Structures are given as structure tokens and as C-alpha cells.
Chains A and B, each alone.
Chain A
């Protein structure tokens, strides 16, 4: 059968005045209509609106269009929208090309004539390119309902229980010899004084006893291969005694939840606080221990008359970490309260930079602490307190010298016991986890979410989720909320049974591949595997993000980026370089 002539519809969007203000959209449409194969060219105020999309769908049906060019905003913004318009009209969604005449034209140019000519060139390129588009089908793969949870703190246990209660099998890997994480080291929790043990114990028992949860203590993940829906994970027991234990266990899973938490800042790094030198300078965790034992006293066994709590140790300064650790302010208030109620004769000074009481119940908690006569003293971020030993005539052990901002005075605070509110830090081995699961870390070592506002628990690796304090410092309620969110995201995928994979990915033509393996190391998503038998590289389409690095790298030209083929790109370039003419119409008053 003779191939019928392709019919292209071109749609120029005004984007209100965003485009039309600088680009003469009508002229672009008139120009587009003259291009080969273009059947019709139209402008519209908002192409992405429902009437706009319906217009495109109607035109496709009525005029038998088989390719569409939309000249509008960035494809990042609305490619999905117009793809769905094509599907609505029964056309393959890949028969669309967008020309970005907003971000790349009207928003960055002032000269109307030049901008209009540029828009014409971009449309010409899109028209040439779309002629080379091929109909592609997206694939779907089965989802393995088992889940790997890394870290057995409050986040890990919460996520595991949520998933297991819904009937899915969970492998929970914890590197310590017990569950509970950092909360197991805390006495009472701010701001409601719930006992940390109570919060944990029910969860720990349930986790151990759950028929759908397998807990691996003293263990670590050593390898993760495969892709979303079908990962294979190797779990290695640390210091395993028997031969059987020394062997890594391999499990098949569909998704991973990383809940590896934080470690506390090492207070001895701040030299002028004298931690490790002055015996009665302790960290918040050491105080938690004292509170647990019910005795707050100095190393000499005396009840302290003056206790000073110093905030932001290791947090919020250029030398160590610039971020706020978020929980220490409220924890400090908790200490002030607990110390005062254990020993009413004691005076507590709270030396802070800002009181970050942002959460539910926190401001009231702060108020209560004022009521209990805590003396709040404010210091400057760039001008930290200095702790030194008091003289023999002083009625206290140590003196804290600091410039107090609210009074403007240079003061010294008496103290028998100093509590350093150590901040949170990414764990030393967090880069190992990042590497194994192929996710990114920020400059401080926290794992990066795929969108800081809208995707707080997803990562750029499909099927790998993050929750709790391994993402950033947070308190228990926020940690638990994230853990449940990650579990919910995984459950939604499990319940679908299969997952759709975009048809845009790289493909290796095995006949041409020389087996040089250059592409294997270049791929930033570890999406290329090497078939040792055939000695050929192979792209795992589910992992490929279609960045195109391998396509460019392959010395044999064996890799084709689907939807980004050489022919398509060359045609587009040719189109852009075609000659365009535009003379501004006479000014209409």
C-alpha cells in the first residue's frame, strides 16, 4: 500500500501575553502553514487549557492529522498534557514535538522581530523533526511485593510494620544488635513527655513477632541490583560466626525504603567548649543517660546548683554545619524542665541563638519553660560562648563567657554542669548506602529527595524511597510521618501490580556493539549491564532515564536513544537553519 502523505497540525500558543507580547504568533502560524506537510497552523490564547486540548484532538480526528507540533512552553511543563491530547484523539503519543517559544524565546528576548524569526526557526525545526518520529509503545513490568527496609530506628520499624500489616513481606536490615535507633537513647520526649521506651517497646515487639517481617540484626546491605519492581539485594551479617552466617543472603524485592537515621555531632570538635577536658561539660545524650538513671549530678557526685544548656553545638555555623538540627531547641527546654523539677533549687540557663519552636505544641512548651524560671540568654552565631574553669572564690565550677544579645552585655554565666546540645549529622557510612542504591547526597551527606516540596520521600532512583532523619534532621512526629508516607507510596505501587515504563530509553544494537564496555561506566544511573556470554552491553530499560550519555559515548555508534535518534536530531537542526523572513506589520494605533 502506498504510504499516504503525512499531515502535520501546528499549534502556536499565545500563553496569555507571555508569548504574544514579544512573538508575533499570527506571523509564526502563517509561516508554519507554508512548511511542507503542514496541513493546518493555528494560534490560541492558552493551548494547554481544556478547549485548547480539545481543539487539537478535534483537528486530529476531522483532518486526519498524523503528527502534531505545539509551539508553547517548555516540554517539562506541558509535554504530558499534549501527549494526552494525542491519545484522546487516538494518535500515538510520541507523534508530538514541542517547540519551546516561551522559556527559550519570548521570556529571554526583547526585540520582537528577532524573537519572531527565532520562533519561526524553532517551529521549522520541530516540523522537520516530528516527520521522523516513530510510534512507540511503553512497557510494563511486574512488581515484586516484597520490600527491603534499611535501618531499624523508629522510621524503619514504622515503615516495616505498615507494609507488613498490609500483607507484604519485609526484610528489615539493622546494623546494630538491637532495634530502636537513637530514640532508644532518649528518656522522655519533647514536648509531651512521652517515655521513649514506651514509644518503642510496642513497635519492637511487634516487629520481631510479625509473621511478614524478617529482621536481620548486625547486618548490612552489600549489594543491590536490578530495577524497580525486581531488585535483588544481598544482606551480609557483620562479624558472622558460623560459615552459614558469613554467607550473604540474597533476597528478591520490588522496592527499598532507606531509614538509616543520623549520628550525633562530636562535641570535642568545638575546642572552646572544653568537651573531653572539663569533666562537667557533657553532651545531651550523656544527660539523657543521667535522666534515665534518675540522678542529675556532677562527676564529683554533687547536685549542681547552676546548669547551663548550650544550643546549636555543631549546628548553624560555617565551621561545622550550616543547617539547624531542628530537635535540640525543644530537647533543651525538656532538659530545663526535667532538671528543675528534679531539683527545684537548681538554676538553669539556656544559652541559645534563636529559639526554634516551630512545631505543634512547641510554643506552649517554650512558654512553660519560661514559667519554670529558666534564664534564656541569647548569643550570636558568629560569636560563640567560651567555657572555662571558675576561680577558687566563685560559687560555681565553670564560667561561660558570652556576648548576650538581648541585653547587649558581655556576661559570664555560672555553671556546675554544662550540657551541649549536639546536632545531627549524616552517618559516616551513608555514602555506602547512597552508592549501593544509586541515590544522591547533598553537601552535608543527607540523602536527596526527588523534589524537596512535592516528592519528599521519593528519590531519583525509581523504587528507592527515603524516610526519617537520613533525609534531614527532624523530630519523631515528622520521622514517623515520612516513614508512613514512604510505606504508602510503596503500597500504592504494589497494589497496581505492574509498573509503566516510559518508552523513551536507550537501546544497544547488539550487531554493532563491540563489547568495549565504555558505556557501562559512563551511565550515571547504572542502567547498563554487560552480558558476559554474548560479550555485549545491554540497557535495562526500567533504569534508563534517557539522558543520552551512552549514545554519545559509544565509539561504534551502537546505541540508539529512542525518540532521540540521530535522524530526528539532524532533521531538527536542519529545520532550525532554514531561512525565515519576517517584516513587522505597520503599527496599528
Chain B
């Protein structure tokens, strides 16, 4: 059966940031230079092609976009300024909107106004709810313990609820990714035990981001800066989430500082701060790293919220420890007004790659082994991943 080409699909991806994909003339330079492309996962050239031709189903079932870390080497090499790195990024955004069953991601990626309004709405609703709760059950003059404005046990439940919703959507998305890539897109059998054999990939990739470090260092410095920054940001992010979801009660108690616990909070805060500053600096002072040259509006929303969260978190912490309890309570409300939309937005934004990327790598490794196994069985040339 012939696959229908859709010459108009390129316009759809345009909204997700793939503005230059039409320039590609398939020379393959990009795939040659990419540290992650290989015989089985041929990108970015192949993905560029599928996008140009509007082969929606092929794209939807492909894992290739997740194997790209946007080191930008390909975009630097491309003789046609087709920006393959940015195309892979755009495909990730598009895939996120595909994995998302609610259609929210699609709305966010396609309309900046809608995204801002939604974030504002959630922030305001959170603010109203918390203020109402605080006034009805406690006093603005009390920060913790009896009669607290926002008691830590309440916050704990609140955090878990919001976090639960977030994770629910993320895992729903990951499930759809599995369905697309491992069921719909596979033309060869996948032995069930491969899922177990490759399971270590998930935590391994999640923690080390090892493949990112494999991206070619331009030879300028020993440490690959984007990887380091990304590592700092990701660990800060993860530690914070664990602290908030599990240890929020001892964390919030005060005013004494519980060093074995708080030290993690401080480290994570520093990580996040550095990450934010680096993100903003790279985009304002345009650098040699191509991956920072283009920024989708949704990326800014993430960083702005994160900055508000980090700064308000620090301020609230200081105010609490120095005894300005009313101010600390108000800052806490502001802090949570940023935290809630930020967390809820996660599954619908680029940052869901936190889950999707390790999952995709896990699936990709399973696919790879399935293909190699099949190749040994039949004629090597007849193998395809749909």
C-alpha cells in the first residue's frame, strides 16, 4: 500500500518550531555528524524527510526525536541551514502533544496567549483557594504548628494531589508513547522478556543523562557545559520534587535548620538558580551553541515560573527564619501560585521529557535488540521499523 504524502503538514510543524525543515535536501551530513544516530535509528535526516513529506503516522510512531539531545552539531554542519537540531526539538514538542490525550499541550504549543491565560488562571485560583483556606482555618500571623496559616500537613496533601495529577498525565503520555512506538509502529515481533532485560535503562538514563555527555564537545573546554548545566538543573529539579512530595512537613517546620535535610534543599536551590541564570544568559547573550538560538515561547514560561518559584522559596525561607511570619505566609502563597501551574504544566510542555526521554531510550534499546535478533533470523535487508 502506498502511503499518502501530505505536502501541507509542514505548516503544522511550523507552529512547533520546525521553521526551516523545507530547506533540507537530504544530503545526510547531519546524520553523519550526530553522535547518537546509527544504522537503526537514522536521524535527523530521516525524520526531516518524514516531516517534509507529512508522514504523520511514521513520525508519531518514531522514537528518534527522543534520542536527540540537541547538541546542535547537525545544525552547524547542515549546508542548507535547515536546522535539523531545531527540527528534532520541534518534533519532541509535537510528540508531546501527540502523547497527550487532553489536547492541552497542542493548545499551549500553538497559542502563547492561551498558555499565559491558563497559567494565570491556575495561579489565581490557587491563590484564592489558599488564601481562603488560610483565613478560614488559621491566622496570617502563625507560620507553623498550631493555628498555622498553611499547616504543613495540609500542604503535604495539597502537594501530593497536584503532583499526583501531574504524574498521572505523564504516565498516561508514556503509555501512549509505548503504544505508538512498540505496538502501532513495530513490524517485527518483540519478545516480552526484552522489557525486563532493558529495564535498567530507565533509571540509568534518567540519572546520568549519559548520552547527552556523548554529544561532541566542540573541543573548547574539558567539561561539556550544556551537559553540566542540564545535569545541575535536572538533579536540582528531582531533589526538590522529592523534598516537596515526601519531606515537606519537616522541611517547613522551623525556625531551626535541620541540616541533614536542609542541605539538600540548599544544594537543589543553587542548582536551579545556576540553571535558570545560564538559560537566560545563553538566550539573551547569543552564544555559539546553536541550541539556544531559537526559543519557543513555552520555554520562557517554564523558566519565568521557575525563577519565581526559586526566588520566592528563598525569600520565604529567610522571612520564616528571621521571624517576619506574615510576610513569610504571603510569600508562601505566591510561591505556591507559581508551583501549581508549573507542576500542572509539566506533562503538556517540553519539560515532560524528564519522563519521556528515559522511557523512549528504554523502548529504543528494546527495539534495537529486537531488530538485531530478527536480522539474525532473516535477510538483514528486509528489516524495517515502520
Q: Do A and B come from one complex?
A: yes
Q: Mark A375-417, 1 if CB is under 8 A from B, else 0.
A: 1111000000000000000000001010010110111111000
Within 8 A of A (CB), among B1-54: 1-8, 10, 22-26, 46, 49-50, 52-53
Q: A410-B3, A411-B53, A414-B6 are in contact. List 4 more A-B contacts (CB 8 A).
A: A372-B22, A374-B22, A406-B49, A409-B55
Q: Tell me, yes or no, whether A347 is within 8 Å of chain B by CB.
A: yes
Within 8 A of B (CB), among A514-538: none
In whole angstroms, how far apart are the Cα atoms of A371 and B82 in the complex? Answer: 10
Contacts A370-B22, A370-B80, A409-B3: A377 and B53 contacting too (C-beta < 8 A)?
yes
Specify the chain B residue showing the minimal Cβ separation from A376.
Answer: B25
B22 touches A371 (CB 8 A): yes
B50 touches A375 (CB 8 A): no
How many chain A residues have a CB neighbour from B under 8 Å?
26
Partner of B53, one of A355, A399, A404: A404
Q: Tell me, yes or no, whether A451 is within 8 Å of chain B by CB.
A: no
In whole angstroms, how far apart are the Cα atoms of A376 and B48 in the complex? Answer: 12
Report the minimum CB–CB distance from A362 to chain B (whole Å).
Answer: 14
A373 touches B22 (CB 8 A): yes
Q: Tell me, yes or no, whether A349 is within 8 Å of chain B by CB.
A: yes
With a cutoff of 8 Å between Cβ atoms, the chain A residues found around residue B49 in the complex are 406-407
Contacts A306-B7, A412-B5: A370 and B25 contacting too (C-beta < 8 A)?
yes
Within 8 A of A (CB), among B78-105: 80
A349 touches B7 (CB 8 A): yes
B5 touches A377 (CB 8 A): yes
A411 touches B4 (CB 8 A): yes
Contacts A370-B25, A375-B52: A412 and B4 contacting too (C-beta < 8 A)?
yes
A375 touches B25 (CB 8 A): no
Report the minimum CB–CB distance from B61 to chain A (whole Å).
Answer: 14
Report the minimum CB–CB distance from A468 to chain B (whole Å).
Answer: 32
Q: Tell me, yes or no, whether A496 is within 8 Å of chain B by CB.
A: no
Specify the chain A residue showing the minimal Cβ separation from B7.
Answer: A347
A407 touches B53 (CB 8 A): yes
With a cutoff of 8 Å between Cβ atoms, the chain A residues found around residue B4 in the complex are 411-412, 414
A407 touches B8 (CB 8 A): no
Query: Which of B1, B6, B22, B23 has the most C-beta atoms of chain A within 10 angstroms of its own C-beta?
Result: B22
B22 touches A413 (CB 8 A): no
Query: Which of B5, B46, B49 has the most C-beta atoms of chain A within 10 angstroms of its own C-beta?
Result: B5
Specify the chain B residue showing the minimal Cβ separation from A407.
Answer: B49
With a cutoff of 8 Å between Cβ atoms, the chain B residues found around residue A404 in the complex are 5, 53
A373 touches B10 (CB 8 A): yes
With a cutoff of 8 Å between Cβ atoms, the chain A residues found around residue B55 in the complex are 407, 409
In whole angstroms, how far apart are the Cα atoms of A412 and B53 in the complex? Answer: 11
With a cutoff of 8 Å between Cβ atoms, the chain A residues found around residue B22 in the complex are 370-375
In whole angstroms, how far apart are the Cα atoms of A187 and B49 in the complex? Answer: 33
In whole angstroms, how far apart are the Cα atoms of A349 and B22 in the complex? Answer: 12
B3 touches A411 (CB 8 A): yes
Q: Tell me, yes or no, whether A367 is within 8 Å of chain B by CB.
A: yes
With a cutoff of 8 Å between Cβ atoms, the chain B residues found around residue A375 in the complex are 5, 7, 10, 22, 52-53
B10 touches A349 (CB 8 A): no
Partner of A412, one of B2, B26, B50: B2
Report the minimum CB–CB distance from A141 to chain B (whole Å).
Answer: 57
Report the minimum CB–CB distance from B86 to chain A (whole Å).
Answer: 16
Number of residue pairs spanning A and B whose beta carbons lie under 8 angstroms apart: 63
Within 8 A of B (CB), among A402-445: 404, 406-407, 409-414
Report the minimum CB–CB distance from A369 to chain B (whole Å).
Answer: 9
With a cutoff of 8 Å between Cβ atoms, the chain B residues found around residue A376 in the complex are 25, 52
B8 touches A347 (CB 8 A): yes
Partner of B46, one of A347, A374, A407, A412: A407
In whole angstroms, how far apart are the Cα atoms of A375 and B2 in the complex? Answer: 17
B2 touches A410 (CB 8 A): yes
B26 touches A414 (CB 8 A): no
Can you name 6 A-B pairs with beta carbons within 8 Å? A349-B5, A407-B46, A407-B55, A409-B53, A411-B3, A412-B5
Report the minimum CB–CB distance from B9 to chain A (whole Å).
Answer: 10
Report the minimum CB–CB distance from B345 to chain A (whole Å).
Answer: 32
With a cutoff of 8 Å between Cβ atoms, the chain B residues found around residue A306 in the complex are 7
Q: Mark B173-189, 1 if CB is under 8 A from A, else 0.
A: 00000000000000000
In whole angstroms, how far apart are the Cα atoms of A347 and B4 in the complex? Answer: 14
In whole angstroms, how far apart are the Cα atoms of A414 and B8 in the complex? Answer: 11
With a cutoff of 8 Å between Cβ atoms, the chain B residues found around residue A372 in the complex are 22
B53 touches A370 (CB 8 A): no
Partner of B5, one of A374, A378, A406, A414: A414
A414 touches B53 (CB 8 A): no
Specify the chain A residue showing the minimal Cβ separation from B21.
Answer: A373
With a cutoff of 8 Å between Cβ atoms, the chain B residues found around residue A374 in the complex are 22
Contacts A370-B80, A375-B53: A413 and B23 contacting too (C-beta < 8 A)?
no
Report the minimum CB–CB distance from B260 to chain A (whole Å).
Answer: 57
Report the minimum CB–CB distance from A374 to chain B (whole Å).
Answer: 8
Contacts A367-B80, A371-B23, A376-B25: A411 and B7 contacting too (C-beta < 8 A)?
no
A406 touches B26 (CB 8 A): yes
With a cutoff of 8 Å between Cβ atoms, the chain B residues found around residue A349 in the complex are 5, 7
In whole angstroms, how far apart are the Cα atoms of A375 and B52 in the complex? Answer: 7
In whole angstroms, how far apart are the Cα atoms of A372 and B7 in the complex? Answer: 12
Query: Which of A306, A348, A409 has the most C-beta atoms of chain B within 10 angstroms of its own C-beta?
Result: A409
Report the minimum CB–CB distance from A311 to chain B (whole Å).
Answer: 15
Which 7 A-B pairs rank lowest in CB-CB distance, beginning with the nearest?
Answer: A347-B7, A412-B2, A375-B7, A373-B22, A406-B26, A407-B49, A370-B23
In whole angstroms, how far apart are the Cα atoms of A370 and B55 in the complex? Answer: 18
With a cutoff of 8 Å between Cβ atoms, the chain B residues found around residue A377 in the complex are 5, 53
Specify the chain A residue showing the minimal Cβ separation from B1.
Answer: A410
With a cutoff of 8 Å between Cβ atoms, the chain B residues found around residue A407 in the complex are 46, 49-50, 53, 55
In whole angstroms, how far apart are the Cα atoms of A376 and B80 in the complex? Answer: 14
With a cutoff of 8 Å between Cβ atoms, the chain A residues found around residue B50 in the complex are 407
With a cutoff of 8 Å between Cβ atoms, the chain B residues found around residue A410 in the complex are 1-3
In whole angstroms, how far apart are the Cα atoms of A347 and B52 in the complex? Answer: 12
With a cutoff of 8 Å between Cβ atoms, the chain A residues found around residue B7 in the complex are 306, 347-349, 375, 413-414
With a cutoff of 8 Å between Cβ atoms, the chain B residues found around residue A409 in the complex are 3, 53, 55
Q: Mark A337-381, 1 if CB is under 8 A from B, else 0.
A: 000000000011100000100000000000100111111111000
Specify the chain A residue showing the minimal Cβ separation from B24.
Answer: A370
